């Protein structure tokens, strides 16, 4: 699968050298001219770009009437249609009312509070989009029966998405002829589970970068046992030491090894 890691501007170019494509947060275009310029340059040199609606960062998707102009200005490879966190009905309504942007492809992220809502949302959204996305942190992944067996909520997220994908496959819901995208991660070792799924085309996560900034070193392909809670967009202007950069690159190397099986 293709891998992207969001990173502070001071190491953006260096991280770009060891990733497969670039992942943009639309709300930062409004706030940070240097950030926008990085993606203009990425577009000029032919990098694949996914433009996200910033729902994970903002709590709700960037407003559609403000999102359209940025899509049309950048013309990324893909953009993420505004969804609604764990609201399957609103997510489906948004996808059905969305007007495609010529020259770009769309990603529809599946939402819901239960497996049945996720399944219904997938069946409604998948025919409308070019790529389908799954988040890492649906609340129904927190299985209270497993508390005490799983040490952190991030273990619940890791096993939860794996189990969700397996169940959707078993129920013949997933269209394996269409590319899929995994948004974020609980723990990086999750991605060892997907090495045989050629239809999982891409993943984005700032995990190896944020972990390194917080002094957390991957345990090789075993990844991490906990996750730093800070979001990368709040660190976009951070300055890193040479040691922190080397730890970022080490974690990225480990992440890629996990994904490659």
Model pLDDT for residues 178-212, shown as the tens digit of each residue: 999 999 999 999 999 999 999 999 999 999 999 99
Cβ atoms of residues 212 and 164 within 8 Å:
no
The predicted model scores a pTM of: 0.96
Say how many Å lie between the first and final Cα of the chain, rounded.
11
Distance CA 22, CA 9 (A): 13
CB contact set of 230 (below 8 Å; sequence gap of 6+): 210, 214
**What pLDDT does 244 receive?**
97
Q: Quote the pLDDT of residue 106.
A: 98
DSSP bridge pairs for 200: 180
């Amino acid at each position: 699968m293709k891998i992207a890691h969001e990173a502070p501007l001071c190491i953006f170019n260096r991280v770009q050298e060891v990733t497969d494509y670039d992942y943009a947060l639309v709300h930062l275009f409004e706030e940070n001219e240097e950030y926008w310029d990085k993606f203009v340059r990425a577009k000029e040199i032919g990098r694949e770009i996914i433009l996200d609606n910033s729902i994970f960062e903002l709590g709700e998707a960037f407003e559609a009437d403000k999102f359209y102009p940025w899509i049309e200005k950048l013309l990324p490879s893909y953009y993420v249609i505004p969804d609604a966190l764990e609201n399957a009905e609103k997510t489906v309504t948004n996808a059905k009312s969305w007007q495609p942007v010529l020259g770009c492809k769309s990603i529809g992220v599946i939402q819901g509070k239960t497996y049945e809502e996720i399944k219904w949302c997938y069946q409604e959204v998948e025919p409308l989009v070019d790529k389908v996305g799954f988040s890492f942190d649906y609340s129904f992944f927190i299985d209270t029966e497993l508390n005490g067996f799983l040490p952190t909520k991030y273990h619940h997220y890791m096993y939860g998405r794996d189990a969700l994908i397996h169940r959707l496959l078993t129920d013949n819901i997933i269209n394996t002829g269409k590319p899929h995208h995994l948004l974020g991660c609980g723990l990086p070792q999750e991605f060892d589970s997907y090495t045989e799924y050629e239809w999982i085309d891409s993943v984005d996560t700032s995990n190896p970068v944020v972990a390194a900034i917080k002094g957390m070193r991957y345990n090789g392909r075993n990844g991490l046992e906990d996750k730093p809670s800070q979001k990368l967009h709040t660190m976009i202007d951070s300055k890193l030491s040479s040691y922190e950069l080397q730890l970022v690159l080490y974690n990225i190397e480990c992440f890629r090894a996990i994904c490659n099986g």
